[in-house]
Structure 1
Amino acid sequence: MPVSQIHPNWSRPAHSAVDGYSIEITAREADTLTALAPRIPAATPVAIAFLPGERRDDRVRAAGAVRQSGFEPMPHFSARRLDSAAEFEAYLAAVVAQAGVRRCFVVAGDPPTPAGPFTDSMALIATGAFERAGIRAIGLGGHPEGHPNMSEVECFAVLAAKCREVERRGMAPLIVTQFGFDAEAVVRWLAALRAHGIHAPVRIGVPGPAGIRTLMRFAALCGVGASTAVLRKYGLSLGNLLGSAGPDRFVATLTAALTAAHGPVRLHFYPFGGLARTLDWIDTYARMTGQEP
């Protein structure tokens, strides 16, 4: 499946670092997205997180709101949070029927013990449910700072196997990374990814502007490296936890280092400080770099 079916802008170079970005929301942010829709480019991919304690109907409603706002919904499927095959297929059928979903993001999920029969993302892919439902692209998780349960070699081997399996089933793989603070580590990971023969498009996770305490809390929850040296590169200081920070330095460093050898790359924003604040940052960055997103 051609890259252009994942996002229409993949087939041409980005004119700005934020050109062709994607963004993530939770089910409870659906109304906020609808209100802010005029500020977001048409057809922007919008991921819908799969969080504990949410109702399936709320995630389905959020996916519908994304579609109705003119964007491309990409709901998350957390394998270990699904308590049965029936629940999995019911959720998939609902988002396809009610939101015209054509792409999904598949992860193992955080629980150490699965709630049902699925232990990892490959288990969901192997059911064949996605291609039967007409899904055209599958998002897979990337870990520039390493995986807590796998070596770097194992991580790339597993990711390569997932990409091959997605393609074998007639869908397109897309890699979306965890957010981080070290752009140089991301660039090294991209080079290693391509050296391992993985050529799928990549969306680099970027934390939207937020208070430093908020960023640190999400970093701890997600296992993101936040050493003093890394934070200093990002522009953060542990001595100023009352301040706030945006990803200006991270994005500038990443953009300056990327070459054609790194393959197709776009940004994926995690709006930890709120959707409106992240859109403000994107608009400002686009103006400063001379190009609207």
Structure 2
Amino acid sequence: MRNKRTAATLTRLLENARYEVLPTASTEDKVLEHLPRDRTVTVTASPSKGLEATFDLAERLAGHGYAVVPHVAARMVSGRTELEEIADRLLGKGITRIFVPGGDAEPAGDYPDALALLQDLAAMGSPFSHVGITGYPESHPTIHDDLTVQSMWDKRQFATHIVSNLTFDPTLVRSWVQRLRARGVAMPLLLGMPGPVERTKLLGMATRIGVGESTKFLAKNKGLFARLAAPGGFTGESFLEKCAPALGEDGALVEGLHVFTFNQVGETEAWRTGMLERLRG
């Protein structure tokens, strides 16, 4: 039996959940069929598809009335001229929020990492009202922990919020949030978690599509996938309940969820609304 404080924390997180989708041919239809217009949708960037697929889907969803956050993967942008063109294009469609990961591609030009692109955005007058950067509760498969922490610290002055990568361990979430507080990081945080994905298909989907940092992260961390796929090994509701005590301590810091749907949009929205109904009932 959860207490009132935990229920209030869970309700707040679920009400402030946004959905990450992959830019495939069926994504637009899935979003239109299953998501009300008040949901925020983020669109990943794929080295194989290029940024055009991300921006095209983002623009179409924005045209339908959704708040959209395209991923502008730094290594996929050639330099300042292209970045200015991207900003003009997105702002022209009313898209004022972006997420800036480094990305998994080899650098296409001047940006070896997210920080370099963020610095150019600042030099351009910070044209976007909301800019998200990545946080890593789990160890990154290719970057030392000290570097990920320092990188987030360096990027904080150019961003408005942090989006955590996938994690399935509530203990790690609690300690990570405490470390952020201890370092004086005050910008809002969105906690990354998977939606109710068909577990046995998840790794194959990640490898086949190869879209976005979330799928690459999971594919490179097969131990985490084993934990996710094991019967009883992970459920979103149990994960959030175990995280809630730490996340409820500072609502201004942990403001909501970033749900990796892997394009199971209908299932994810049904899970979210069902859990909210149980909390309110």
Q: How does the TM-score come out when normalised to structure 2?
A: 0.81
> Which consecutive residues of structure 2, in runs of 5 or more, have no partner in the other structure?
1-7, 207-213
Pick from 82, 92, 101 the counterpart of residue 95 of structure 2. Answer: 101
What do the CA deviations read for 1:237-275 (whole angstroms, capped 9, x no partner)?
A: 2xx6xx997422112211244232473331111112611
Aligned-residue CA RMSD (Å): 3.0
Alignment of 1:170-209 (within 5 A): 172-209=159-196
Alignment of 1:106-117 (within 5 A): 106-111=100-105, 113-117=106-110
Q: Provide closer, same or farther for how the CA distance between residues 21 and 289 of structure 1 changes in structure 2, counting only shifts above 3 A.
A: same
Q: CA deviation at 1:14?
A: 6.9
| Bigger helix share | 2
Bigger relative contact order, structure 1 or 2, given CA contacts below 8 A and separation 6+? 2
Would you say the 8 A contact 1:209–1:281 is kept in 2? yes
Q: Residue 81 of structure 1 aligns to which amino acid in structure 2? A: M
Structure 1 residue aligned with 2:31 = 33
Would you say the 8 A contact 1:14–1:20 is kept in 2? no
Q: Residue 109 of structure 1 aligns to which amino acid in structure 2? A: G
Alignment of 1:104-143 (within 5 A): 104-111=98-105, 113-128=106-121, 132=125, 134-143=127-136
Would you say the 8 A contact 1:45–1:72 is kept in 2? yes
Would you say the 8 A contact 1:105–1:139 is kept in 2? yes
What do the CA deviations read for 1:179-205 (whole angstroms, capped 9, x no partner)?
A: 121122111111111111111111111
Determine the C-alpha separation between the residues in 2 that align with 1:147 and 1:136. 28
Q: CA deviation at 1:47?
A: 0.9
Determine the C-alpha separation between the residues in 1 that align with 2:165 and 2:78. 25
Q: 252-261 vs 16-25, which deviates more?
A: 252-261
Would you say the 8 A contact 2:43–2:70 is kept in 1? yes
Would you say the 8 A contact 1:50–1:77 is kept in 2? yes
Determine the C-alpha separation between the residues in 2 that align with 1:143 and 1:190. 11
Q: Provide closer, same or farther for how the CA distance between residues 214 and 244 of structure 1 changes in structure 2, counting only shifts above 3 A.
A: farther
Pick from 87, 104, 114 the counterpart of residue 82 of structure 2. Answer: 87
Determine the C-alpha separation between the residues in 1 that align with 2:121 and 2:134. 19
Determine the C-alpha separation between the residues in 2 that align with 1:86 and 1:189. 37
Pick from 51, 55, 58 the counterpart of residue 60 of structure 1. Answer: 55
Structure 1 residue aligned with 2:5 = none
Percent identity among equivalent residues?
Answer: 23
Pick from 252, 261, 265 the counterpart of residue 275 of structure 1. Answer: 265
Aligned pair count?
Answer: 262
Pick from 254, 257, 266 the counterpart of residue 256 of structure 2. Answer: 266
Pick from 233, 236, 239 the counterpart of residue 250 of structure 1. Answer: 239
Say which SS state the counterpart of residue 287 (structure 1) adopts.
helix
Structure 1 residue aligned with 2:137 = 144
Q: CA deviation at 1:278?
A: 0.6
Say which SS state the counterpart of residue 83 (structure 1) adopts.
coil
Determine the C-alpha separation between the residues in 1 that align with 2:241 and 2:182. 24
Determine the C-alpha separation between the residues in 2 that align with 1:149 and 1:55. 22
Q: CA deviation at 1:56?
A: 4.2
Determine the C-alpha separation between the residues in 1 that align with 2:137 and 2:75. 22
Determine the C-alpha separation between the residues in 2 that align with 1:95 and 1:276. 27
> Which consecutive residues of structure 1, in runs of 5 or more, have no partner in the other structure?
1-11, 167-171
Q: CA deviation at 1:279?
A: 0.7
Q: Provide closer, same or farther for how the CA distance between residues 49 and 220 of structure 1 changes in structure 2, counting only shifts above 3 A.
A: closer
What do the CA deviations read for 1:149-170 (whole angstroms, capped 9, x no partner)?
A: 4443332222122112x1xxxx
